């Protein structure tokens, strides 16, 4: 019975999600400008409160980009467990700028209004620096964001030092949070200590980013 239930749940998740980069439209697999070890592509974006943010204005600060979709079970894993919120608080508490990015196009899964996202953040007690609305997918495609979540860490010199999965447990099971290696936290700790990032790039996992069709 348990096996049948797991197969059913897995099938349901498969209808709305894509593991890793599989299933991403060809147009979204174009070579991104973001390359680990190189300067992170500059961006000028507006958050859901109407405030403008430029990466070039943030030199001297670490920046995290977290691709987000409320309806994605893989995102739910990290929010329902409190894992993402703990990371946000730990990072922003050390002066890191944390941008949650929503690249879902209007009419597609994951697209939300500012009011809907504000309620979600309040309900989940999440605390990113800001939520970036990217309905045209410009920022997502610039960085080659494929899944939700898909994580990027930029150091204080503006260099992209990590890109990929949040951790090494590519499932939507909350129980897999415990014991997982968090790649983003590990990269941050290493670069802060003046050490090279031991795992600078991994394959992201989660639901495919629901980009605007062209």
Question: 44 near 52, Cβ under 8 Å?
Answer: yes
SS3 of residue 124 by DSSP: helix
For the chain, the maximum distance between any two Cα atoms, rounded to a whole number of angstroms, is: 55
Mean pLDDT, the chain, whole residue set:
89
The whole model's pTM is what?
A: 0.88
Note the pLDDT of residue 214: 72
Exposed, middle or buried by CB within 10 Å (0-12, 13-18, 19+), for 180?
middle
Confidence band (pLDDT; 50, 70, 90) for 33? confident
Note the pLDDT of residue 25: 39
Confidence band (pLDDT; 50, 70, 90) for 156? very high
Which letter does DSSP use for residue 140 in this model? H
Q: Go through 52-61 and write b for each residue having 16 or more CB atoms within 10 A of its CB, e for each that does not.
A: ebebeebeee
Confidence band (pLDDT; 50, 70, 90) for 31? low
The CA distance from 91 to 61, in Å, is: 11
The DSSP bridge pattern shows strands 160-164 and 151-154 to be antiparallel
Note the pLDDT of residue 119: 96
Q: Hey, CA dihedral for 21, 24, 27, 32, is it positive or negative?
A: negative
Q: Is 80 left (phi over 0), alpha (psi -120 to 50) or beta?
A: alpha
Domains of the chain: 2-208 (3.40.30.10)
Average pLDDT of the residues in 39-47: 97
Confidence band (pLDDT; 50, 70, 90) for 32? confident
For residue 38, pLDDT over 60 is answered with yes
């Amino acid at each position: 019975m348990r096996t049948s239930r797991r197969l059913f749940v897995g099938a349901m998740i498969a209808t709305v999600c894509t593991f890793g980069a599989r299933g991403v439209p060809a147009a979204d697999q174009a070579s991104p400008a973001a390359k680990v070890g190189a300067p992170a592509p500059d961006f000028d974006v507006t958050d859901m409160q109407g405030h403008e943010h430029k990466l070039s204005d943030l030199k001297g600060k670490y920046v995290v980009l977290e691709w987000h979709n409320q309806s994605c079970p893989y995102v739910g894993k990290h929010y329902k467990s409190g894992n993402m919120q703990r990371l946000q608080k730990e990072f922003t508490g050390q002066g890191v700028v944390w941008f949650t990015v929503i690249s879902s196009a209007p009419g597609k899964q994951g697209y939300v209004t500012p009011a809907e996202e504000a309620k979600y953040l309040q309900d989940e007690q999440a605390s990113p620096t800001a939520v970036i609305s990217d309905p045209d997918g410009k920022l997502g495609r610039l960085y080659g964001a494929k899944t939700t979540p898909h994580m990027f860490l930029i150091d204080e010199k503006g260099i992209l030092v990590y890109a990929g999965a949040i951790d090494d447990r590519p499932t939507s099971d909350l129980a897999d949070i415990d014991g997982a290696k968090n790649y983003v936290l590990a990269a941050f700790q290493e670069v802060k200590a003046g050490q090279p990032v031991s795992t600078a790039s991994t394959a992201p996992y989660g639901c495919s980013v629901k980009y605007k069709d062209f």
